[in-house]
A and B are shown apart, each in its own frame.
Chain A
C-alpha cells in the first residue's frame, strides 16, 4: 500500500516537474494560463496566479482607503457566504477555548497573496484535524484592528480578540477571493 502511494506521488511529481520545465522553457503556450488549476498556476508563478494576487491586493487597498482604516490590518479566512456576512453584520462567531489558546475571534496577519496554499493555511489556524481537511478558506475578510478590545498577537502570525460570548463585534471592512491555491 505504501509503495503504491509513494509511486503515485512520485509519478505526479514527475509530471508536475516536466510541466514546469516545459512552461519555463517557453515550450508551452502562455495562453494555457487560464486553464491551469489554481495549484499549478501557483506552482508556476504564472500570470494567472499573479492576476489573482493583484485582484486580492486591490480589494484590500480599496477597502482600506474607503474605510479610512490606517494600517493595523488583519485577515480572517472563511467561505464566501460567511465572509459577506461578517462584513455586513460586523460580527463573527467565536472559537471555544482550546488547549493553550483562548476563546474568541481568530485572525492572522498573513495576506491572501502570501505564498502558501489554503491547505497550509488551514493547518496553521484550524487546530482540529477533522476541520483541516474540510474547512473552506476560499475567501478573506479584512479586519481593521482599530477598535477596543483589540485583537492581540499570540505569535506565529496568529491574532485573537478574546471573548467568551458565542459571537463578537469586529470591524470588518471588506472581503474578497483568497488568491492562495
Chain B
C-alpha cells in the first residue's frame, strides 16, 4: 500500500473520519475501546501492507513523519497497542526505538521533565516523560533486552516523583500481563 494512503488512514483514525467514522460512536467510557477499530483494519491488510503500517507508525513515534507530528501522542499510543497484539510485524523498528530510548541526550531531557497534564501536539512531546514511558512499554511488548540500563537510570535520577512511580507501575503491570498471558 502507498505511503500516502497509509498516512491518510492513520489521520482518519485520529480524527474519527473515513473508515474510522465509527470512532465517534465510542462515546463515554467506551472511548477506550476505539483502538479496536484500527486493530480490525490492520488485521484486514496483507502482510506487506502491515509491515508498511508498522514502519510508518514507528517513524511517527520517532518524530520522523512530518504529516503525523501533530498526532504523535496518539500514533505512539496506537503503535504501543499494536505491538502488544501484532509484535512480529513491528520488529523491524525495534532497533531504532531502542536507540531512541537509550539516547543519553534524551535521558537528560526526561529526567528533568516536569509533570504536565496535557499532551503536546508538536515535537516537544518527545521531551515529556510520558514519551519515554511509551517507548519503554513498546520495547517490552517487542521483547527487547536493551531497556534495563535506561530504566534504572531514569528510575534513579528523574526529578518527577510521578515519573518514577509510573516506571515502577508500568514494569509491574507489564510483568503481570506476561504472567497472565502465559497462564492462559
Contacts of B26 in A (CB 8 A): 93, 95-96, 128, 131
Specify the chain B residue showing the minimal Cβ separation from A165: B119
Contact with B along A93-132 (1 / 0, CB 8 A): 1111010010001111000000000000010011110110
Instruction: Contacts A89-B77, A167-B77 given; indicate if A135 touches B30 (C-beta within 8 A).
Output: yes
The minimal Cβ–Cβ distance linking A64 to chain B, given in whole angstroms, is 12
Do A87 and B170 touch across chains, with their CB atoms under 8 A apart? Answer: yes
Number of A-B contacts (CB under 8 A): 151
Contact A174 B29 (CB under 8 A): no
Residue of A nearest to B176 (CB): A84
Task: Verify if B117 is at the interface (C-beta below 8 Å from A).
Answer: yes
A34 on interface, CB distance cutoff 8 Å = no
Interface range on chain A (Cβ under 8 Å from partner): 35 or more
Whether, in the assembled complex, B177 has its beta carbon less than 8 Å from a beta carbon of chain A, the answer is: yes
- Size of B's binding interface in residues, CB under 8 A: 45
A90 touches B130 (CB 8 A): yes
Report the bound CA distance from A135 to B25 in whole Å: 12
Q: Is A49 an interface residue (CB 8 A)?
A: no
Residue numbers in A under 8 Å from B80 (CB-CB): 85, 88-89
Inter-subunit contact A128/B27 (CB<8 Å): yes
Interface pair A81/B173, CB less than 8 Å apart: no
Give Cα distance in the complex from A147 to B163, angstroms: 12
A82 within 8 A of B: yes
Q: Which of B40-86 contact A (CB under 8 A)?
A: 71, 73-74, 77, 80-81, 84-85
Given contacts A67-B169, A167-B77, A168-B118, contact A125 B130 (CB under 8 A): no
Chain A residue at minimal CB-CB distance from B116:
A169
In angstroms, Cα B28 to Cα A90, docked, is: 18
- Interface assignment of B112: CB less than 8 Å from any CB of chain A: no
Q: Does B159 contact A (CB under 8 A)?
A: no
Check A93 against B32 for contact (C-beta < 8 Å). Answer: yes
Docked-complex contact B119 and A95, CB < 8 angstroms: no
Check: A33 CB closer than 8 A to any chain B CB: no
Contact of B117 among A96, A149, A167 (CB under 8 A): A149
CA–CA, A82 to B33, complex, Å?
7
- Could you list 30 A-B pairs, sorted by A, with CB under 8 Å? A66-B169, A77-B29, A82-B35, A87-B169, A88-B80, A88-B173, A89-B130, A89-B137, A91-B119, A93-B26, A93-B77, A96-B23, A96-B31, A101-B27, A105-B32, A122-B30, A127-B28, A128-B26, A128-B28, A135-B33, A147-B115, A148-B117, A165-B74, A165-B119, A166-B71, A167-B77, A167-B119, A172-B169, A173-B169, A175-B173
Q: Besides the contacts A66-B169, A84-B176, what 6 more A-B pairs have beta carbons closer than 8 Å?
A: A66-B172, A84-B173, A88-B140, A106-B28, A163-B119, A166-B73
The 5 closest A-B pairs by CB, nearest first: A95-B31, A125-B29, A98-B27, A88-B137, A87-B173
